[in-house]
Structure formats: structure tokens, C-alpha cells
Structure 1
Amino acid sequence: MSDGFSLSGVFPASLTMFDEAGRLDQPATHRHLASLVDAGAHGLVVAGTSGEFVAMAPDEKVRLVATAVAAADGRVPVVAGTGTASTAESVELTRAAAAEGAAAVLVILPYYMRPHREEVLAHIRAVGAASPVPVLLYNNPANSGTTELDAVDVGMLYREGVIHGVKSTFPTVHQVPEVIDETGPDFAVFYGGFMAPLSGLAEGAHGWISGVLNVALAEALALYDAVRAGDLAAARRWAAAIRQYRYLYTRRPLGQVGDLALYRTMLELRGEHGGHCRLPLLPLTPEQRARLERIMTENPALRGIAVSGAPPR
């Protein structure tokens, strides 16, 4: 465990900006990341799921980390996603990210080959042993398609000095307090979904990491502050505002659309740069874009609090 290690707060799982041809657009990515920091993000997560790490080559990930560190400019920590299906590649990326200035790394469960529990533990231990910076476990079994590590496993890895935090991405939030029970005050527990951030933070999570924070950062910061202040009424109002973003994905008013395409188009409709996803992820159709614009016009919560100045009541 690194002495003095501490991460907490609202960390956007940042979009990676690609151009129309699918090339990594470092200037646009720099601008987006800097804008998140300017808006008050407590830290940045890059090369995560929302950053489309699975569609990126190793050298692109290293360039992305360098871009993020430059955009943060020492104001907030950068957490780099360095986990892959390969232990050797994960170790190499972790060392490279640390060399570029990442404050910590986020290591996904090894995916696709469906390694069993002991293989997953061996992978995380190997990366942790080789990492020059603190390691956060990205416990996301649904996306990785492999064995989850439960709270007891996480506590064991913490006591071994292998990991220093976790992004807990499950449909439920009971894992958050269970992990807190198994670890210590110097272990960073981040709620990692977008279904129940108020519940996750109220259960004791030290922060929130999610892709929706690319477009709902101000609301998330207000939610985080309300929970820390013990103002449940305000926290509920901010959580209600954030749910409007979730409904665009879960209730499908636009039909079948990806969450990243939604975020990118929302940024564009607000006059910001949204960039492109890499294939096979598709952008919104012109019809879907027009429908989203109408929904945003009709729903003040989706235009951002800069318009309304206060959460809906």
C-alpha cells in the first residue's frame, strides 16, 4: 500500500475523441478532458469502458494517458485503464501509464477467456506486484464475462498490498458497504454504475466513476456534495435530475442506441465537441438526433444545470 494514497470524489470515465475516420484525435481529447477539470471534476479516468479501451492499440492508450496528464496539468489525478485480457500486456501498459504520469491505474478483470477465480487473482496479483503506482480493481464481471471478485477477495488483495481501491460496477450496490467492511479507510471505493449513484454514495462509496459524468458532471458534483453534507433532500433532487440521463438509455425513447453515442450527441447539441465512436459502435441516426434534441428541449434537466440553476423539485 502506498503511504498517503487517497482518491475520492467524482471522476468522469472520460470519452476518447476519435475523428470521423476513427483516428485518435488528441487535440480534441485534450480539450474535452481539460473542460471536465475546469468544470470541477475531482479526477479523470481514461482508457476505461467509456473511453473504448477495447478498440484501442497499446500505443494509443499510452498517448491517451499522456494527453490526459497534460490536460489535467497537475490539478487533478489521472487514473489510467491498463487492464487487458493478457497479464503481460497489462503489466506493460501499467508501467507505461505510470511513466507518463498516471496517479493510479484501473485494472479490469481479465476478459473473454473466462479465467476461473484463481486465475483472475493471479492476474491481479501480477499486475499489482509490477505496478509503480496504486492499482484500482475494475470489478465489472458483466462486461468482462468472467468471475467476479467478492468483498472477501477484494479485502484479501487489499491486505496483501496488491490493490488500493476498487471501481465496483454491479447492478446492485450492496457490494459497496461489504467491501468497506473488508478493507480500511485508506482503500478507495468507487461506485461504478449509473443506476443508483445516490445509494452507492450513501452506502459509503468514496466517489463515483461513470461515463454519464461526461454530460452530467455538474449534477454529479452537487449530488456528491449533498451526500457529504448529509442533505438527503437535496441529494434526492440531484439524483432525480441524473436519472433523466439514465432514462435515455434504459427506456429507449430513441430506440436502440449506445450510451456513448448518446453522450457524444448531447455534447454536440450543447455546442461542444462530441467526436465519434469507433466501429462497430454507431452514431445516432439523423432521426434519432432530432428526437434527442426535442427531448432535451422539453426536459430542462437534460440541458444541464447551467440553464436552470437548480435541480428539479
Structure 2
Amino acid sequence: MKLKSFLSASLFAAVLISCNQSKTNESGKDGSGKRIVIGSTMLSMQNEFVVNVSDEMEAKAKELGVELITVDAERSALKQVEQVESFIAQGVDAIVMNPCEVEASSPSVKLAINAKIPIINVNSETSTIPTAFVGSDDTESARIAMNYIVKKLNGKGNVIMMHGYMGQAAQIKRDKGAKEIIKANPDLKLLAEQSGEWDRAKAMSLTENWIQSYGTQINAIFAQNDEMGMGVVKALEAAGLKSKIIVVSIDAIPDALQAVKKGTLDATVYQNAKEQGGKAIETAVKAAKGENFEKEVLIPFQLVTKENLGEFLK
């Protein structure tokens, strides 16, 4: 009797697992029963935040039972257009694009729409409106960062801004948001601004140049992403100036969170890679199936300081 009960329970568990697997796999198929294939072109797989978004896209695709083909645009809008052309030729069911540039990546959107393939922009934008956008309001992220600097400086001092890759939506919008706050605080002066191209090593070199030019005149540096923020911190530490200069950046990547914990980075602004990546794939799958989906999914930013760091550390 015990053996019979064990076999019955085992059979029931096997059937249950099989049903659950079948349900997952079915969700990844289109109306004709064919497995959905999504092409993904990412700005740069050398950028930690972009990799985090891509990893979440991969995880969500696996969960939903769809095939995801990911390629690296290597910061080249021209390469990105060619990659989208290749996806169209392969006959993918949907495309997710993390745009390299607002204007130069826009032809990719036009190509996909003309081919009647849904294209979802994730994390960054193009001037041509895609099928859907999943990301966050980059203007708001810069407002959050700069307002923190205003508070720490009591509204008075010299600020330097390090831009990301020029022409990309995040760079344009973070510039806009930061300058709104600077304009609203007349005693805050923008001492210098230049691009560090989202890159840690370039940010370190650029900061070294600023130290030589301005030295102790600098009261705060706003880096438009954490990769650059880490480069800024390293240069300031080497010059013995970190304790005198406030540094704030955006993304809340693991290195930045640890730097906030150590006190070398004053604050970062959390951008939710998990939500962006997951929602992008969910939206792409719905669009591929012809189901209803949100045309714009905006995920809020959050300021991270030592006070609330525990909420963001894994």
C-alpha cells in the first residue's frame, strides 16, 4: 500500500511538472504554435548596467519560453541599424533595441515598422517613435542627483558635470534635468562639462585634467552614470581630494553601492535594470502575439545614500 501511494504521488508530481512546463512553453508560442523569436541589439556589452538589463531580458525570455537572440552594437548606431536589418531578414517576431543614439539609431525603428515587426526601445529612446518604450525618465534622474548636490552644498558652489555618450537619449535628458536645477539655484555655478562616454577609464583621465585645471575650486561632480562616477572617485582619491568634493552618479550598479557604503561615493540614483529588462521582453511577447500592451512603461528612479543603502544591497 505504501509503495502504491508513493507511485501515485510521484506520478501526480510528474504530471503537474509536465503541465507547468507545457504552460510555460505554450506562453512562448504565437497563434500558429511556432515558438516566438525576439532579436535584441544592445548599446554596449562593456557597460555594466546594459549587461544587467540584458541579463534580465534573458531570464524573462527563458521564463516565458521564447527564444532571444542578443547582439552587441558596440556603441555604433550604424552597426545597430545593420543588426536590425539582419533580424528582419531572419524573420524574427519582435525586436528589442537599446538605442545607441537618438537620431542615428532611428532608421532601425523605421525599418522594423515598415517590415511590420514590433520594435521595443528599452532604457533609451529614439526620435522615431517605436512600437513601445520601456525605461525610466532620465530627466528626473538628473534632477534627483543635482537636488542632492544642492542640498549638500546649501545651494552654493562650483559643480562639474560629466556627460555620457553624446547624442544618446540618457545624455541629452540628464543634461537637461541637471541644468534645470542649476538654473533654479543662481549661486550654483557650472564650472565645466565634458563627455566621459559612460567609460570608467575615460572618466578617471578627464577628472585628472579637471583637477589640474580647477583643483580645490571644485565642490561637486555629477557623473551621468556610475561607471564614470567610479572613475571620478578613483582620480579624486589619488589626488587626496575625495573628502573635499561631493560625487553623485546614476544607476546603482554593485560597485557604486559598495562605494556609497564605504563613503567614497556620496550618492547614486537607482535605475531598475530588472524591471526594464523584464518588462521589455513581456511587452515584445505581447506585441508579437497581437495582444494588448502598454505603449510606454516608465519605471521610477530612487536616490540611494548611506541612510537607505540597505534597501538596495543584495
Q: Identify whether the pair has TM-score above 0.5, normalized to the shorter chain.
A: no
Give TM-score scaled by structure 1 length: 0.31
More strand by share: 2
The alignment's TM-score, normalised by the length of structure 2, stands at 0.31
